[in-house]
Amino acid sequence: MKRYFTPILLWYAVSLSAQQFPQYSLYMLNPYTYNPAYAGLENTLVANGAYRQQWSSLEGAPVTAHFNAHLPLFVISSGVGLKVENDLIGAHRTTSALLSYNYQMELSRTALLSVGLSAGYMQYALDGTKLRAPDGVYEPFGFNHNDPNLPEGKVNAGTPLLEAGVFLQIKRLQMGASMQPAFAPVLSVADNNNLKIEPKQHYFFTAAYTLEAGRYLAVRPSAVVKTDLAETQMEISTVLQWNENIFAGASFRGFGNNDRDAAVVIAGLKINEKTTLGYSFDIPLSPLSAANRGSHELLLRYSLDKPIGAGKLPPIIYNPRFL
The domain that holds 199 is classified in CATH as 2.40.160.40
Residue 318 lies in a domain: no
Residue 58 DSSP label: S
Q: Which pairs count as long-range contacts for 232-235, CB under 8 Å and 24+ apart, including other chains?
A: 232/259, 233/1, 233/2, 233/259, 233/261, 235/27
The predicted structure's pLDDT at residue 125: 87
The predicted structure's pLDDT at residue 306: 85
Segments of the chain scoring below 50 in pLDDT: 2, 4-19, 311, 313
Q: How many domains does the chain have?
A: 1
Residue 322 lies in a domain: no
The predicted structure's pLDDT at residue 35: 97
Residue 117 lies in a domain: yes
Residue 178 lies in a domain: yes
The predicted structure's pLDDT at residue 9: 40
pTM summary value: 0.86
Residue 145 lies in a domain: yes
The parent domain of residue 150 ranges over 7-303
Residue 191 lies in a domain: yes
> pLDDT tens, 131-161?
888 888 887 777 888 877 777 788 888 889 9
- As a whole number of Å, the end-to-end CA separation of the chain is 26
- Residue 249 β-bridge partners: 239, 266
Residue 278 lies in a domain: yes
